[in-house]
A and B are shown apart, each in its own frame.
Chain A
């Protein structure tokens, strides 16, 4: 038995609403099912959506404030390539020096020369990708080493024949032994292996000019060593034909000293990107370069995430809307069924607004309880499904719970109760007391 001792009017009407609903438990439960599903859908969909987008964003964020300048073989280079089969194009050493004139904003300049090359150890051979670069490459690419060390500035200065192997290369050439300390053959030179990188996941083809890259087949050597030993012309054999390329620099990564989480930082990175393009436009009439600002992709991805989130919210709102219609339907039935009760209450002095409040509170109590139940179901889904998913499919299902989605969905549930409860409540209040009392 409930005590009727001190209590506010609201608390009492809540208690009475709960009691009235309790009389028809199953019906109340079924009628809020739509709200439960809608709310849990909002929470779960937003968490999974955000989780998967976050993964993609993190990939890009690693590139944060970099500007990537690459050499591109000009497509309409018919006049030169027909005569000279060695194609000369791309970024030059002089460009590299000019990048440093951009001042303090550029905190790092990491040049790279990249070409296909075979690497041997004893009788074993691997067709890998030779990358001549500097020590900072490791920082720019968040490189993790499995063994040994990465190249140092000293290696570069001394033109030393040291190299770091990608995980795939190390696997192929040294299936049984530790590669560090061994010497491998590269283009007729012996290189001492000083480190092995950890397994690197290939970058996803997130679109734009950055294609899928598999780093596990890389062999890193000091940049200056590369220039000294390999020279500027690289011979490529493919399908019986030969061609040569004279490329001084395949790629330069510029790291800007800015915080890409702030809009000023982003402006700065973009402005420098434009400046670099402007500079290259002047010096390279052949159009043999490309500038990629990962930040642009970050922004694209963010816009995409926002759009995605909006879509999810829309879908979830539809389910909440449908849930609301369910509530309205049941409330209309309830009002009809309780017509006599309305008559009794009116006879005992209830005003129209009292009747409106009574039914409105019942509707809101239902949708609120439904919303809270939906939160529970949603949280259970967000925390319970990923481990199961991993168990069954072996794949990760990233989920990032956003707390505002909980507030939002509960808030909307309450609102749905008000909106869809209003009409039935109004209908109840409009009943003629005499007719209502006569109702059986």
Chain B
């Protein structure tokens, strides 16, 4: 299977005054299409930095990041914006919905920045996504009228609206209770089965178990990279 995402000798340095902090120290990783990867590691291990670079929100100091064979590491700010809006979907720990917009409008938002005119077709698509995540009854609600789990489901719907090649989930269950977490993870697993590639940051082992592959980082390097065989087996069975 071709690698959807490839990072080669990825280095990220932060300059804090005179001190230079090496956060990523030459990471080389590749993620295949259709994979579901959990990134783990203690704070300071570089997992957030890696996620930011994978999400095209940040650029590496050195090294390359190939997204479907396109090197995005040297792109301009505007080009990165286009990559985000065209190929990536984001799910955040804090849901990050806009409070002034309704459920449907929040789901539409990425389309606005793709320059797609909003019409009946796009609206129907957003409504369908809202129904898919079980919020068909709450299309006109504002985020503050929804529970945390419901908000995260809106965020999942939003991450899908541009039909992304890669979904980046940054501790998607971090703010949720265990029962709701399971619901969300089931939803992500379902998306993965439907072919979506997902990279997820988490620090909870039971959440990581939902993934097919678990990568642990420490001090800016890969500490372990394990295929979750039980998961793969369960699927086969």
Report which A residues bind B (CB closer than 8 A): 1, 4-7, 9, 12, 19-20, 22-23, 340-341, 343-352, 354, 433-434, 437
Tell me the complex Cα distance, A22–B84, Å: 30
- Rounded to whole angstroms, the CA-CA distance of A349 and B110 in the bound complex is 6
Most chain-B CB neighbours within 10 Å: which of A22, A347, A350, A354? A347
Please report the C-alpha to C-alpha distance between residue A354 and residue B92 in the assembled complex, in whole angstroms. Answer: 22
Main secondary structure of the interface of A (DSSP, over half): helix
User: Which A residues lie within 8 Å of B118 (CB)?
Assistant: 4, 7, 12
B90 beta carbon closer than 8 Å to chain A: yes
Does B26 reach chain A (CB closer than 8 Å)? no
Chain B residues lying within 8 Å of A12, measured Cβ to Cβ, are 112, 118
Taking a contact as CB atoms under 8 Å apart, the answer to whether A346 and B81 are in contact is yes
CA separation between A349 and B86, bound complex, in Å?
Answer: 8
Q: Are B119 and A6 in contact (CB under 8 A)?
A: yes
Do residues A350 and B98 form an inter-chain contact, with CB atoms below 8 A?
no
Question: Once the chains are docked, how many angstroms separate the CA of A23 from the CA of B108?
Answer: 20
**Are B100 and A23 neighbours in the complex by a CB distance under 8 Å?**
yes
Q: Which residues of B sit under 8 angstroms from A437, Cβ to Cβ?
A: 57, 92, 96
User: Which B residues have a C-beta under 8 Å from some C-beta of A?
Assistant: 52, 55, 57-58, 77-78, 81-82, 84-86, 90, 92, 96-102, 104-105, 108-110, 112-114, 117-120, 122-123, 140, 158, 162
Contact A20 B102 (CB under 8 A): no
Rounded to whole angstroms, the CA-CA distance of A5 and B97 in the bound complex is: 22
Min CB–CB distance A333 → chain B (angstroms): 17
| Contact between A348 and B84, CB atoms less than 8 A apart | yes
Asked if B96 and A4 sit within 8 Å, CB to CB, the answer is no
A residues near B86, Cβ cutoff 8 Å: 349
Interchain CA distance A19-B123 in the complex, whole Å: 19
Q: In angstroms, how far is the closest chain A Cβ from the Cβ of B90?
A: 5
Residues in chain B near residue A4, CB distance under 8 A: 104-105, 108, 118-119, 122-123
- Once bound together, how far apart are the Cα atoms of A9 and B120, in whole Å? 15
* Known contacts A5-B119, A345-B98; 6 further A-B pairs (Cβ under 8 A): A1-B102, A5-B120, A6-B117, A20-B100, A352-B81, A437-B96
What is the CB-to-nearest-CB distance from A100 to chain B, in angstroms, rounded to a whole number?
80
What residues on A are CB-neighbors of B98 within 8 Å?
A: 341, 344-345
CB within 8 Å for A348 and B108 given contacts A1-B102, A6-B119, A20-B100: no
Contact at B90–A434, with CB atoms within 8 Å?
no
- CA A1 – CA B57 in complex, angstroms? 33
Q: Which residue of A lies closest to B170 (CB)?
A: A437
Pick the most buried of B90, B97, B98: most chain A CB atoms within 10 A of its CB.
Answer: B98
- A349 in complex: contacting residue of B85, B101, B122, CB < 8 Å: B85
List, in ascending order, chain B residues with CB within 8 A of A19's CB: 100-101
Q: Which residues of B contact A9 (CB under 8 A)?
A: 117
Tell me which residues across on chain B come within 8 A of A352, comparing CB atoms.
77-78, 81
- Which 4 A-B pairs have CB atoms at the shortest separation, nearest pair first? A349-B85, A349-B113, A351-B81, A348-B110
Chain A residues closer than 8 Å to B92, beta-carbon distance: 437
Task: List the A side residues contacting B101 at CB < 8 Å.
Answer: 19
A424: min CB distance to chain B, Å: 18
B58: chain A residues within 8 A (beta carbon): 434
Say yes or no: A350-B113 contact (C-beta < 8 A), given A5-B119, A344-B98, A434-B52: yes
Residues in chain B near residue A350, CB distance under 8 A? 81, 85, 113
